[in-house]
Amino acid sequence: MKNSAAIHQYSIVTGNYWAFTLTDGALRMLVVLHFHQLGYSPLHIAALFLFYELFGVITNLLGGYLGARIGLNRTMNIGLGLQVIALAMLAAPAQWLTIPLVMAAQALSGIAKDLNKMSAKSAIKQLVPDDQQGALFKWVAVLTGSKNALKGVGFFLGGILLAMVGFKAAVILMAAVLTLVWIASLILLQQDLGKAKNKPGFNELFSKSRAINMLSAARLFLFCARDIWFVVALPVFLSSQLQWTFWQTSGFLAAWVIGYGVVQSITPAIFRNNTGTVPDGKSAFSWAIALALVTAAIAATLATTLPQGVVLIGGLIIFGIVFAINSSLHSYLIVSHAKEDGVSLDVGFYYMANAMGRLAGTLLSGWIYQTAGLTVCLWAASIFILFAAVLSLAIPKITSH
């Protein structure tokens, strides 16, 4: 590890990221369930997240550049402040909660989320020397896994708050808590973590290595595949077709995401025990193929006479394990391949592709589910995962170990 001051600042960044993640997960579940309850169609619900994902694309591209110039501490604090504003907007009277207002609030939330993610992921590169790839893999996996576990807790929190206090009181409560976190961060997060020694030019936003480009393209297809069926189609299907309550839907998805995060955290141990080496593009290819087969199997089994609830629960557990390993591999590979000076430029570009995949997946989730159903969403996801697998083969090996 590097100097203690950087570690101290990184621990604050991580704490901020965790607090933000709780509100982000809760808000996602609140919006999906609340507006479904109000009678919005799946496509309309997907549209509410359009600006969330669209501005995530823009934020990751420009946020990486901003982080390299002004420091990751400042981009983190900007993100926290924007999330407080987004939550406050959604606390408006019910008659004001029109689709444009909700989309605008989601736009701010999307900017905030990706500023936080880019800041936290980029900061890891400042702590681990290039010749300690095993340690880097472990730290990235722990951060990514813990974030997703907390996002799962956020899903459950969103369902509980909606059932107990209602939509407006829930967002007011989350805004108040996050404001305290933001004030603490403004006081404690001072060091210019991640600021580039050589100020990057604007033209460097799109000037990337082959490794970064291939990783980014694979990530786009991987996360588009997940969100095609997971973001809108699945919770609406559980609620409308299987007649699950808010508690059941949010509780199950929360447990799933928590388990997903735990698997992400232990992925380095899986590779250490099986191969003794850190993963590369071939590893990402193999696990993507496994994920495509799992997704296709769920789709095929849903068409049989087996109970759909049993098929979905069992399939989601297997899908979650395999997808978590895929995600953890990709998160490590981008941090490893990113250049150390101005790391946020490469990480921001990569998560821009991630956001593009989520944007496409969210829109396709609402449209395909509304027109063709959950099974077709799953078949579409399988095809996108195969694209990610093929692109993974073009990722070069990491030369320093």
| Confidence check: pLDDT of 205 > 50 | yes
> Lowest-pLDDT range, 39-43, 122-126, 279-283, 297-301?
122-126
Per-residue pLDDT band for 151 (boundaries 50, 70, 90) equals confident
| Confidence check: pLDDT of 108 > 60 | yes
> Integer distance in angstroms from the first to the last C-alpha of the chain?
15
* pLDDT tens-digit map of 216-271: 999 999 999 999 988 788 888 888 888 888 678 777 887 888 888 889 888 888 77
pLDDT of residue 273: 55
DSSP-derived secondary structure letter, 307: -
Per-residue pLDDT band for 401 (boundaries 50, 70, 90) equals very low
The whole-angstrom separation of Cα 353 and Cα 336 is 17
Domain regions of the chain by residue span: 4-188+208-392
Quick one: which of 44, 361, 82 has its CA closest to 230? 361
Per-residue pLDDT band for 129 (boundaries 50, 70, 90) equals low
pLDDT of residue 84: 94
Mean pLDDT, the chain, whole residue set: 82
Per-residue pLDDT band for 130 (boundaries 50, 70, 90) equals low
pLDDT of residue 187: 85
φ, ψ dihedrals at 314, nearest 5° = -65, -45
> Lowest-pLDDT range, 63-77, 229-243, 314-328, 343-357?
63-77
Query: Sign of torsion, CA 176 179 181 184?
Result: negative
Classify domain 4-188+208-392 at the CATH topology level: Growth Hormone; Chain: A; (1.20.1250)
pLDDT of residue 93: 83
